Structure 1
């Protein structure tokens, strides 16, 4: 199932799509953030680019998970899932693993380029410690966004919104200390800001993001059960 999930993704249709998805678009976003952060310090500049690389991977993961499930909706597989095997671990595990592999690949490519271009490796330890945690958290948030949009007229809407909010609320554009109070409060909605601040500055309450991720995990279970009930009702009606 994992092989089928990977093969169904549009990223691997040709080398041009692969290059644009994994190198051109992420590098463009990262450099734009880097230019904004360069006004603070050279160290902050490098670490911010690294943080943005990981956040970009989280965005890609959410978009990939969303794309996989939308593709199954187009083929009617989601209805079969809802009726016959709503809690199929192999099904969802294959989707999540495919999205994880894509995101990890993108992050590794960009981090390698940053290391080669800057010659700075001071961030390596923290980056490799944070990346798997951030991507696991992205799986949870992405699952919620994907399921909320299940059978909606625009199944990509919530995934796109979350992808934008991850950048805005993670503190990778400017330090969280420069955020107004109301925006600092909103950063607690997603489990990324403290991870990224620890990566950038070496300081951050990582446990807070773990707790926030656990809330999202509970939300994922509640939303999925509710959506299953709704989709089953629609299926019976049809």
Structure 2
């Protein structure tokens, strides 16, 4: 329980109820409204994809932000060097971060999904809930990668900031990935977000290539962690 309390203390968006409501409800609702206005001239299916895609991206971003911010706090109090240089993947350390990020992201997903369902006639909430484990897994993986990438760097949030900027683009929320240029399409397919959105919309179902994107992120996390630990030990 003490580890969970420290996580809430270390993540600015969870510092108090007012910040939680602003960062996890008000600002996401503004983002959703903005993107819906952006796609207002399109068809109703475009609006549906915009809404669902934005909700999923916001949930993933929240989860990743909690994990990365908590890890940065641990760096600032000199905790990570001792723990991670011995067992980088030890669940005693990472488990509470994953748990808190999943619970908070789950509450945000249900709240935004419920409000979004009131705006649309197309039923999607049940499929969104069914797909939620994949959404949480994506957030955890991206949060872990962002944390490790920023470990020991002058700007520990550099990868998190990049992902936050391009998450909507990489998910194919505004423009379908199929219409992207080849390089950007390949980059977007590395991330499972487009496949998750299509699954919720029942446009297509997760195939081997979609599942492979999760394994790619897991493999990348393992390799990056080993390289980072080795680098920090020698420097």
TM-score (ref. length: structure 1):
0.88
Q: Deviations over 1:23-70 (max 9, x none)?
A: 121112112222223333223313420221011110111111110000
Q: Deviations over 1:83-116 (max 9, x none)?
A: 4544422101111111222211211121122223
Aligned residue pairs total: 233
Farther off after superposition, 2-11 or 98-107: 2-11
In structure 2, C-alpha distance between the alignment counterparts of 1:37 and 1:197, rounded to whole Å: 18
Q: Deviations over 1:182-222 (max 9, x none)?
A: 32222122121122133235225543221011011011111
Counterparts in 2 of 1:130-209, with a 5 A limit?
130-200=131-201, 202-209=203-210
1:122 partner SS: coil
Instruction: Give structure 1 regions of 4+ aligned residues with deviation exceeding 6 angstroms.
Output: none
Counterparts in 2 of 1:67-78, with a 5 A limit?
67-78=69-80
Aligned to 1:101: 103
Farther off after superposition, 94-103 or 194-203: 194-203
TM-score (ref. length: structure 2):
0.89
RMSD of aligned Cα (Å): 2.0
Change (3 A) 1:37 1:203: farther
| Contact kept in structure 1, 2:36 and 2:47, CA below 8 Å | yes
Aligned to 1:124: 125
Query: Gapped runs of 5+ residues in structure 1?
Result: none
2:160 partner SS: helix
